[in-house]
Amino acid sequence: ETGVTQSPTHLIKTRGQQVTLRCSSQSGHNTVSWYQQALGQGPQFIFQYYREEENGRGNFPPRFSGLQFPNYSSELNVNALELDDSALYLCASSPGTSGGALNTGELFFGEGSRLTVL
Amino acid sequence: QQQVKQSPQSLIVQKGGISIINCAYENTAFDYFPWYQQFPGKGPALLIAIRPDVSEKKEGRFTISFNKSAKQFSLHIMDSQPGDSATYFCAASRAQKLVFGQGTRLTINP
């Protein structure tokens, strides 16, 4: 059983550019969530995808967008990068239920993608 | 709006001692309370978790104490070891969406 994998591990962009981060969920998990972790802070919820549909969004502007694919992998896209977007971006996967009710609490995180915006 | 408050920010404990980290939450709709351990350059790893219908859960050296009426919960690490040195985050969850505390940097001195 493979865990959550993210790519790239590190990247550097300049202000105004766009970035795409990728995540492969843990085997058997159909729910993927993205979190932003600024240096010295706890992770903050960006959004969650369940069976390819957005299922909740945190307090992030629309230039943060995402996708989930039929194999449950996911992408996070950030447009018009700002200096404050520099952070560790974490992907987490979790098992849902066939009935659609997300009643399990366990989330398993990847190692993250470290984004630096200059 | 800070929904989960964690203290202390940093903690130094001697090897073999007990490490205690506290958290308080505001939203009574939360239904799952995990603790994560994070080493530098790594993602958070689930350590132990509890649901609000239980007052205590123990796994090895790690214990969560949960006080529903006070909306507080804590992590106790018994017989703390240098390998426990890491940053610890409490969190509260509803529908698998986590709200994290600010983190506690724990250092275990040998």
The 10s digit of each residue's pLDDT in B14-52 is 999 999 999 999 999 999 999 999 999 899 999 999 999
The 10s digit of each residue's pLDDT in B58-96 is 999 999 999 999 999 999 999 999 999 999 999 999 888
Predicted pLDDT of residue A1: 53
Return the number of CB contacts < 8 Å for A and B.
Answer: 63
Share of residues in chain A with pLDDT > 90 (%):
80
From residue A18, alpha-carbon distances to A15, A65, A80, A117 in Å are 9, 11, 6, 10
Predicted pLDDT of residue B96: 81
Chain B positions in Cβ-Cβ contact with residue A92 (cut-off 8 Å): 98
B51 to A105: CB separation less than 8 angstroms, yes or no = yes
Check if the beta carbon of residue A80 is closer than 8 Å to that of residue A102: no
Nearest residue in chain B measured CA to CA from A56:
B97
Check if the beta carbon of residue A97 is closer than 8 Å to that of residue A88: no
Res A90 pLDDT > 50: yes
Predicted pLDDT of residue A101: 41
Chain B positions in Cβ-Cβ contact with residue A43 (cut-off 8 Å): 44, 89, 98, 100
Q: Token match 């843990």: residue?
A: A26
Predicted pLDDT of residue A105: 67
How far A31 CA lies from chain B's nearest CA (Å)?
A: 9
Give the confidence band of B2 by pLDDT, cuts at 50, 70, 90.
low
Element of type H or E holding B20: strand B19-25
Task: Measure the CA–CA gap between B26 and B70, rounded to whole angstroms.
Answer: 10
The 10s digit of each residue's pLDDT in B43-57 is 999 999 999 999 999
A106, A107, A111: best to mutate for the B interface, most B CBs within 10 A: A107
